[in-house]
Chains A and B, each alone.
Chain A
């Protein structure tokens, strides 16, 4: 049996599929979060090298920070597909990703502050990674603001897509901001990535939380895409024939 993936490029075909996927993604996210948190709180040591109990913020902070970067990459990918192939659903996906990406960036910044205070003695520092991460939040907000500032949705999509593509330059900057070539010029409070040296149980919990966050993000994005499809296609026959409108 072969699946015709291009069939799902049409909003009318993707809409029911997204509806089915939402509950699956949400259930997977919930189960993995419960298992991941159990693992993170009960199977891991109370102290991680110099860090005391507060290091457990890692299970949220790292997963949220990774998600915010990956989601930005996904946003740019769909924006690019939209620009190249002029497909409506790609732009809808890009628009649906932005608020969730912004949410994860806020969670990353917030949890970073609550990790920074006990470990570095400060809530905030203009450290290269924190600053570049704040710029990522501004990019998400800028993308959403630009899109809602233009009435014509096709023009808004194109303008916001270009902004998103320009902003893509920030993702490698964030990633490499801890690997400063000259520490005297750009020293960072963040340590270089050291997942290889972490205790295996901490790694397992982190892995479970990352997959859980991925699943949550997919579920929420599918929900938002469905709303955007309804909003933009409300004048079409297939939307007006939907059962939930006529019997809802």
Chain B
């Protein structure tokens, strides 16, 4: 592996770019996983209510 790449005086710009992108792209799958859990719970609840009714 070569030397660490230089960021010159532009570390702030580079880090803000890569930082926000990483956060957003990591967050999205976790949000979708949470959403899936909520949907599955909701369906299970609906099924229980329907069973009770019948």
A is bound by B: yes
Contact B6 A245, beta carbon cutoff 8 Å: no
A-B contact count (CB 8 A): 90
Question: Provided the pairs A223-B29, A230-B36 are in contact, do residues A60 and B43 lie with their beta carbons within 8 angstroms?
Answer: no
B17 contact from A42, A46, A57, A226, Cβ within 8 A: A57
Q: Which residues of B contact A224 (CB under 8 A)?
A: 32
CB distance from A118 to the nearest CB of B (A): 6
Contact B20 A107, beta carbon cutoff 8 Å: yes
CB distance from B15 to the nearest CB of A (A): 9
Give the complex CA separation of A224 and B36 in angstroms: 8
Contact B28 A244, beta carbon cutoff 8 Å: no
Question: Provided the pairs A54-B10, A56-B14, A114-B17 are in contact, do residues A220 and B36 lie with their beta carbons within 8 angstroms?
Answer: no
Question: Provided the pairs A230-B39, A234-B42, A240-B43 are in contact, do residues A220 and B28 lie with their beta carbons within 8 angstroms?
Answer: yes
Per-position binary interface string of chain A over residues 39-74, scored 1 when its CB falls under 8 Å from any chain B CB and 0 otherwise: 001111010000011101100110010000000000
CB distance from B27 to the nearest CB of A (A): 9
CB proximity to A under 8 Å, residues B17-54:
17-18, 20-21, 24-25, 28-29, 32-33, 35-36, 39-40, 42-44, 46-47
A42 contact from B1, B8, B42, B46, Cβ within 8 A: B1
Q: Which residues of A contact B24 (CB under 8 A)?
A: 103, 106-107
**Smallest CB gap from A54: residue in B:** B10
CB distance from A85 to the nearest CB of B (A): 26
Q: Which residues of A contact B47 (CB under 8 A)?
A: 240, 245
Contact B17 A110, beta carbon cutoff 8 Å: yes
How many chain A residues touch the partner (CB < 8 A)?
Answer: 40
Q: Which residues of B contact A106 (CB under 8 A)?
A: 24
Chain A's interface: helix, strand, loop or mixed, by majority?
helix
Question: Provided the pairs A220-B32, A234-B43, A239-B43 are in contact, do residues A60 and B13 lie with their beta carbons within 8 angstroms?
Answer: no
A61 contact from B17, B33, B43, Cβ within 8 A: B17
Q: Is A117 an interface residue (CB 8 A)?
A: yes
Q: Is A177 an interface residue (CB 8 A)?
A: no
Q: Which residues of A contact B6 (CB under 8 A)?
A: 46, 53
Seed contacts A110-B21, A117-B13; 15 additional CB < 8 Å A-B pairs: A42-B2, A43-B2, A46-B6, A53-B6, A60-B18, A60-B21, A61-B17, A106-B24, A223-B36, A224-B32, A230-B36, A230-B43, A239-B43, A240-B47, A245-B40
17 interchain pairs, CB-CB under 8 A: A41-B5, A57-B17, A60-B21, A64-B21, A100-B28, A103-B25, A114-B17, A220-B29, A223-B32, A226-B36, A227-B36, A230-B36, A234-B42, A234-B46, A240-B43, A240-B47, A245-B47
> CB within 8 Å of B: which residues of A?
26, 41-44, 46, 52-54, 56-57, 60-61, 64, 100, 103, 106-107, 110-111, 114-115, 117-118, 216, 219-220, 223-224, 226-227, 230-231, 234, 239-240, 244-246, 248
